Amino acid sequence: MGEHVKNVKMVKIYIMGKEYEVPEGLTIMKAMEYAGYRFIRGIGCRGGFCGACSTIYRMKNDYRLYTGLACQTTVQDGMYLVQIPFTPAEKPKYNVDELKPTGTTILSIFPEIARCVACNACTKACPQNLQVMDAIQAIKRGDLAKAAELCFDCISCGLCTIRCPAEIIHYHAFQLVRRLYGKYIAKKAKHLEERVKEILQGKYDEELEKLAKMTIDEWKKLYEERDIEK
Amino acid sequence: MYFPGCALKSTAEDYEKTAIAVAEKLGVELLELERWNCCGVVFNVAADAVMHHIAAVRDLIRAQEMGRKLNDNRLVTICSMCYSTLKRVNQIVKDDPEKLRNINEFMDEEEDYEGNIEVIHLLQVFKDLVGYDKIKEKVSRRMEKIKAAPFYGCALLRPKEVSIDDPEDPKIMEELIEALGAEAVKFPYEIKCCSSYNVIYDRKITEETAAEIQRAAERWGANIIVTTCPLCHYNLNTSKRKNGIPTIYFTELMAYAFGLEETLSPETLKIFNKILEEI
Amino acid sequence: MFRGLSQKVYDLTGINVYLCHQCGICSGSCPLVKSMDIPPNMVVRMVQMDMNEVLNSKTIWICASCFNCTVRCPRNIDPARIINALRIIKQREGVYAVDLRKIEKLEELPQIALIAASRKLTG
Ligand code: SF4
Ligand code: SF4
Ligand code: SF4
Ligand code: SF4
Ligand code: FES
């Protein structure tokens, strides 16, 4: 081990069954990199937003199967972990403009939602701590506003989806719920409407034109000097 | 406390609306469970089918939590299928402590279900808690032209252990219909099955069954069929017969009798108006 | 006493199919018997005989679990549960009777139809 880890407490973790000693306090992602893994897949934003780094783990003397985002969860001594790939599913085709905002619309695209047995495995799996089962149940009974509210923070990591005995594809269904909710149910944001109108009227054409002609360095400068909303 | 179920929140909205309105008129406050999930609709008969009881037990736990606050252990169901599923699962876990332990252990994120909730159907509330005399008092409309055939279907009556009445010769809806001042038409298919989920397996079976039931009710002189189940309601109305008599929920009949037209959908009102015109 | 199929049914339900004396009351009470390929009493008989063919009948999917037969069976052996057990045997093999993605008029069906069907007709 290199000089820089002196004085740092080490913890023992098991990655796909192999034992490693890594410094305490690292995220799973950094710990894996420390252990010599190089991520090609299963990584994205490193900030807890993209949902690419789903990880499952167990602790010593505990039957529970925990889940987490590798970029957010810190390692603990005695962690048995593995990164899991995204739970695959065909992307359904639909046109939000032609759909009615009802529960049966969603059920007709994702009828497997009817198979939910309320086991709650999805809720336990969600690294965002969403009430996933309640959201599915809300869809089942047609309460889209409730469902959209419950799944607003879903990052489509697919961890619930791989745990579901009813083979429901939560992340696609939730996306549809939010789309329907946004289009038909949620109150329209007035400032957004106004801004879109302004754009369509060409109010920003000139500025955009200017941006398009800038070099990368000029962009960077502009970005660094921007007003940050507080 | 009452458990609405999925159907009442969507395709059978009218059922929920009228149920709450007529109950209120009779002085019964139906409080929706604060949090609930679909009960699973059908009961899984396999001895080892623990997984399929979880949904229902989770609802019973929710009722237990809320019941503690309200000091009430009665969970009223409105949809027949919810009634049957919740009631049967409740009974199974009460009779089989081993199974209950199993289920409680599986749901390690919830409090344990203690087996104290009592599942009842709204019809029982009206019969036993309110009483038909009180119902009679609230009727504000002449109903004698309405000849209503009660259709019980399966879930309220069978199997025996969960039946709300005599499974071969039920009277509970008949008595209610008469209390409302309408004519109750007892007909031989009142306990038949509407073919249930065959509407998905093979729609033709359902259409034929619905037609048979309608035809029988008409022959016995009914001009409307009254049901407690959103699936019977849907299935019976799928019959392809021209001018077949319509099927409505018993709470819609009550709402009409009590003069609560504002809670009825325009389609249901049209049904009533048509009956009154024809005669 | 039990061998193949009758043993499996016993394991799933605790029902002794040999109590059936083939009176046929179940089939006479069954509202859907005319749509079935094998009437309920025959299903019970086939289980008595450990005839696995019964698992391929349409009856096991058509039965609506209405429990008419159950209420009336003089031997109290619950044919509805026997039929349901056969269905569960198939479901556990991964056989689904319907494809949920191909249901007609799904938008107008009440949820309970779909949920009941997915529990009874898919695994
Ligand atoms: S709801 Fe499912 S897909 Fe969305 S964040 Fe939670 S576990 Fe991931
Ligand atoms: S994991 Fe699947 S079956 Fe279990 S509660 Fe969640 S959605 Fe329902
Ligand atoms: S009613 Fe009972 S005893 Fe008679 S044939 Fe059917 S299962 Fe056998
Ligand atoms: S439970 Fe099944 S076999 Fe028995 S009477 Fe009903 S449909 Fe027929
Ligand atoms: S890398 Fe994007 S959420 Fe972890």
Map out the domains of chain C as residue ranges: 4-119
The pLDDT, as a whole number, for residue B220 is 94
Residues A174 and A194 in one domain: no
The C-alpha angle with vertex B230 and arms to A94 and B39, in degrees rounded to 5, equals: 80
Within a 10 A sphere around the Cβ of A194, how many other Cβ atoms?
Answer: 10
Amino acid at B266: P
The pLDDT, as a whole number, for residue A230 is 59
Strand A10-15, strand B247-249: pairing? unpaired
| Location of structure tokens 């009460």 | B94
Residues A180 and A136 in one domain: yes
Domain of A112: which CATH number?
Answer: 1.10.1060.10
Provide φ and ψ at B73, rounded to 5°: -115, 15
Residues A179 and A202 in one domain: no
C71 contacts: CB under 8 Å, gap ≥ 6: B157, B158, B159, B160, B167, B168, C29
Residues A79 and A108 in one domain: no
Residue having the nearest C-alpha atom to atom 6 of ligand 1 = A126
Find the residues whose C-beta lies inside 6 A of ligand 3. Answer: C 20-26, 41, 44, 73-75, 77, 79
For residues C64 and B196, the answer to whether their CB atoms sit within 8 Å is: yes
3-state secondary structure at position C14 = coil
3-state secondary structure at position A88 = coil
What single string gives the DSSP state of each residue in B170-238? --HHHHHHHHTTSEE---TTTT----TTHHHH-HHHHHHHHHHHHHHHHHTT-SEEEES-HHHHHHHTT
Residue having the nearest C-alpha atom to atom 3 of ligand 3 = C20
Cβ within 8 Å, pair B154-C68: yes
Residues A168 and A197 in one domain: no
Provide φ and ψ at A89, rounded to 5°: -165, 145
Confidence at C123, pLDDT banded by 50, 70, 90: low
Interface ipTM: 0.84
CA distance B121 to chain A (A): 20
CA distance C68 to chain B (A): 7
Distance of CA A54 to the CA centre of its chain: 9
Ligand 2 in contact with A157 (CB < 6 A)? Answer: no
The C-alpha angle with vertex A187 and arms to A184 and A192, in degrees rounded to 5, equals: 105
The pLDDT, as a whole number, for residue A8 is 85
Q: Mean pLDDT, to the nearest integer, of C70-87?
A: 94
Is the residue at A90 inside a domain?
no
Residue ending a domain, choose from A55, A83, A111: A83
Residue having the nearest C-alpha atom to atom 6 of ligand 2 = A122
Ligand 5 in contact with A23 (CB < 6 A)? Answer: no
Residues A59 and A42 in one domain: yes
Mean pLDDT by 10 residues, chain A (230 residues): 67 95 95 93 92 95 93 96 92 91 91 92 95 95 94 95 94 96 90 90 90 90 80
Ligand 4 in contact with C64 (CB < 6 A)? Answer: yes
A140 contacts in chain B (CB < 8 Å): 6, 38
**pLDDT tens across B89-109, in order?**
999 999 999 899 999 999 988
Report the distance separating Cα B162 and Cα B154, nearest Å.
Answer: 11
A216 contacts: CB under 8 Å, gap ≥ 6: none
Cβ within 8 Å, pair A112-C117: no
For the structural domain made of C4-119, what CATH number should be given?
A: 1.10.1060
Return the residue of C nearest to A99 by Cα: C107
Domain of A43: which CATH number?
Answer: 3.10.20.30
Report the distance separating Cα B84 and Cα B31, nearest Å.
Answer: 20
The pLDDT, as a whole number, for residue A5 is 52
For residues B113 and B57, the answer to whether their CB atoms sit within 8 Å is: yes
For the structural domain made of B131-278, what CATH number should be given?
A: 3.40.50.11810
Ranges in chain B, pLDDT < 70:
279
Tell me whether A118 touches chain C (CB under 8 Å): no
Ligand 4 in contact with C73 (CB < 6 A)? Answer: no
Residues A54 and A17 in one domain: yes
For the structural domain made of B2-122, what CATH number should be given?
A: 1.20.1050.140
**What is the extent of the structural domain holding A15?**
3-83
Strand A18-23, strand B74-77: pairing? unpaired
Tell me whether B268 touches chain C (CB under 8 Å): no
